[in-house]
Amino acid sequence: VRQLARTPSYAVINATLVTLAPLARRTTAFARVADEDLGVVRGGALIVERGRIVASGSRAQCEAARCAVAARAGEQFEEIDAGGRALLPGLIDAHTHALFAGDRIADFEALAAGETPPLGIRYTVEQTRKCDLDGLIALGARHLQLLLAHGTTTAEIKSGYALTADGEALMLRAMAGLDAREDLPHVVATFCGAHGLPPEFHDYDAFADELCNRILPRVADLHIAKFADAFCETNYFTPAQSRRFLQACAKRGMRLRLHADELSASGGAALAAELRCASADHLNFIGEDGARRLAAAGTIAVLCPATTEYLDLERWAPARMLIDGGVPVALATDFNPGTSPCCSLQTVAHLARRRLGMSAAETIAGVTIQAARSLGLDGEAGALLPGYRADLALFEFSDPRLFGYYFGTNVLQSVALGQ
Ligand SMILES: [Zn+2]
């Protein structure tokens, strides 16, 4: 992964800045994103001091800050000429399962042959349970490197491949270890206990009891998980079981996300709105009533078109209906071994534009500021403004409309991780 700068304080000049400033200044949720909302500055400059943005805008606007920071940093100051390329906030992946062991090649080959995948989440649970803390961190680091190589500087990661009190605690401790690494994307940890049924359980109600009575207390005491999540779906966790688990998590201080209406219309969006979840994810099968409820609740839709592509699902998420109905839309890879082995938000951006009908501006907002808001990172990540973390992604193109145009091609030039 090419680093944008070698020093913690530096200036980027001659960049096409995609600041997202007009959106970052809004205090309430927004769904519509117009081209002007990207806050593009051509020939722009961005000044960073010790991993934080201190100025962004025209060269003239940044000159005083550049002089002051350069004077304080002395020899340790670099000036990078971006050559007119587009500089975006580092991309934010609001939905991944990036901590897992093993692959699911047999599932892939079954899918390709039109057969039922034989392994499922259970196989990944079996493989992940064999790992100790160091092993988990090594696997997670490899996956985070891949995400970073495609421009992602913050990734939400869900637990849910251990499904025991000790195992889920270990997954969350690994996430904390990964988040502490300065060479990897920032990690937002989600306790996704209601992810599947572990092999030693045969009943979702009984496992929901186990989650609330044993696994949650252990996990909550660590204070690592910022969010909790459940897989609410026909033949998996019902809305009632998901509600019981998530309400218990909320009582322990976690905010909520929900896998909702991914494979069928199963009441997920209505439940996400009822619980005032920060995000409702997937939503391939959401209807207009569900969209109205999400809009009223201020819940952000996190759409995962790479999963739709990989599973060849019959319905793409209705992004246009959501946006027109007032639901903010973020985009994510859903990176996981069984249903989305995709680490590239650039590929997701292509699918969003080609398959979901989203504009370049909506797509860019979806992988930056909307994703940041869904993760509670307002004012910290997702825009190029003073005070924000200097998480940056410099792309080979200069016209922001080219974001999502390339596919199967990594057009990241370099990346920076702020502090
Ligand atoms: Zn997921």
Q: Give the tens place of pLDDT for each residue, 23-69.
A: 999 999 999 999 999 999 999 999 999 999 999 999 999 999 999 99
Query: What is d(CA 33, CA 22) in angstroms, rounded to the nearest whole number?
Result: 10
- What is the model's pLDDT at position 60? 97
Q: Are strands 392-395 and 412-416 parallel, antiparallel or unpaired?
A: antiparallel
Q: Ligand 1 center to residue 395 CA distance, Å?
A: 27
Q: What is the DSSP letter of 198?
A: -
Residues 370-391: pLDDT tens digits?
Answer: 999 999 999 999 999 999 999 9
CA angle 287, 347, 175 (to 5 degrees): 85
CA 328 to ligand 1 center in whole angstroms: 19
Q: Would you state the pLDDT for residue 224? A: 98
Tell me, in angstroms, the distance from the centre of ligand 1 to residue 122's CA: 15
Cα of 95 to ligand 1 centre, how many Å?
A: 6
State the distance from the centre of ligand 1 to the C-alpha of 406, rounded, in angstroms: 25
Helical ranges in 58-119 per DSSP H: 59-73, 105-112
3-class SS at 374? helix
Cα(94) to ligand 1 centroid in Å equals 10
Distance from residue 191's CA to the centre of ligand 1 (Å): 12
Q: 262 CA to middle of ligand 1, Å?
A: 9
How far apart CA 419 and CA 323 sit, in angstroms, is: 33
What is the spatial distance between Cα 139 and Cα 164, in angstroms, rounded to a whole number? 20
**In this predicted structure, what is the pLDDT of residue 122?**
95
Å from CA of 97 to ligand 1 middle: 6
CA distance 139 to 136: 5
Tell me which residues of the chain have a pLDDT lower than 50.
none
Q: What pLDDT does residue 245 have?
A: 98
Distance 117 CA to ligand 1 centre (A): 17
Instruction: Using alpha carbons, select from 79, 47, 72 the residue that is nearest to residue 60.
Output: 47
Residue-wise pLDDT for 147-182, tens only, equals 999 999 999 999 999 999 999 999 999 999 999 999
**What is the predicted pLDDT for the residue at 216?**
98
Contact 418, 391 (CB under 8 A): yes
CA–centroid distance, 63 to ligand 1, in Å, is: 45
**For residue 46, how many C-alpha atoms fall within 13 Å in the half-sphere facing its CB?**
37
Burial 93-103 (b: 16+ CB within 10 A, else e): bbbbbbbbbbe
> Residue 23 C-alpha to ligand 1 middle, in angstroms?
27
In whole angstroms, give the CA distance from residue 373 to residue 356: 21
Q: Are the C-beta atoms of residues 99 and 140 closer than 8 Å to each other? A: yes
Phi, psi of 12 (to 5 degrees): -110, 125
pTM for the model: 0.98
The pLDDT score that the predictor gives to residue 113 is 97
